Amino acid sequence: MTAHRPRARALAAAALAAAALAAMAVPDAARAQSKSDAFAGKIPPVSGQLYRKAGRFELTLGGNLSMNDAFYSKYFGSVKVGYHLTEYLSISGQLATGAAVRAGSATVCDTQAGCSAASGPSLYQVPGHINTMGGLEVAWSPIYGKLNLAAERVAHFDLSLLAGGDWISYEKVVSSSDAAILAAAGQRPPDTGTLGGHVGLGLRVFFAEWLAARLEFKDYIYVASVPNWQEGGKARSDVQNQLFTELGVSVFFPLQNRPVP
């Protein structure tokens, strides 16, 4: 009998410990349940791609702003018309035009007179005065996602990689002597153009089946001849990287998702 008493006491102690642990777990489970109940019914479950693009046209009106040009700030309006071949692949044509004005950082410094805002003839000698950009674009949208906003609404978005070819029209860059002649005659350098291209990233946020906002960042690349920058006795061809940000509103046609085949 005495040999079984320590074993019985050990079993009783183990039973008491298990009961204590169970009693502690019950309030934790109740608290977890109450937390989940607090959000029940507020956010409906969302599955699948609610806003579909395949087989639909997209018209986008936007505004463009240059980001990195030390000489000119560009303020453009743009229009883009695209067709979505699939949910992930689309093609589009776009046109952007507007005003190019002297940037606040465009200054000329002299050892005697100090620094002052760059004059017209000085700006005639540097690249970056773009007038119009137009071309074709291919977009690949591999990411479609959803975000909970303030635990009340769900925002649907997609992310895109952009690439395309462009015709870029810009004010011709002239030499210092030609700039002085044009200024004396009250004229500006003529316009010229060249083929270029762009790459970028795009974000689309959906508000309805037919309406979305677009935000894009693009690097437009082209080559311009700069007479004052000599190389081997000839005007050097300078590769231009013009960064633009675009904010626009898109409307889809037809206005509702096409039926899933």
CA distance 247 to 245: 7
| Whether residue 13 sits in one domain with residue 107 | no
| Whether residue 140 sits in one domain with residue 19 | no
| Whether residue 225 sits in one domain with residue 112 | yes
**Under a CB-based contact definition with an 8 Å cutoff, are residues 182 and 124 in contact?**
yes
User: According to the model, what pLDDT value does residue 211 have?
Assistant: 97
Q: Is residue 7 part of a domain?
A: yes
Residues 6+ apart with CB under 8 A from 180: 121
Q: Is residue 221 part of a domain?
A: yes
Q: Is residue 46 part of a domain?
A: no
User: According to the model, what pLDDT value does residue 63 have?
Assistant: 98
User: According to the model, what pLDDT value does residue 25 have?
Assistant: 46
| Whether residue 128 sits in one domain with residue 25 | no
Residues in the chain predicted with pLDDT less than 70, given as ranges, are 1-48, 105, 107-116, 150-151, 232-233
User: According to the model, what pLDDT value does residue 3 have?
Assistant: 47
Domain housing 234:
57-253
User: According to the model, what pLDDT value does residue 230 have?
Assistant: 74
CATH number of the domain bearing residue 184: 2.40.160.20
| Whether residue 62 sits in one domain with residue 31 | no
User: According to the model, what pLDDT value does residue 219 have?
Assistant: 98
| Whether residue 94 sits in one domain with residue 209 | yes
| Whether residue 4 sits in one domain with residue 98 | no
Q: Is residue 47 part of a domain?
A: no
Return the beta strands (E) in 67-152 as ranges.
Answer: 72-84, 89-102, 107-110, 114-117, 130-149
Please provide residue 102's backbone torsions phi and psi, each rounded to the nearest 5 degrees.
-60, 130
**pTM, full prediction:** 0.78
User: According to the model, what pLDDT value does residue 22 have?
Assistant: 47
CA distance 138 to 255: 22
Q: What is the residue whose two structure tokens read 């990411």?
A: 143
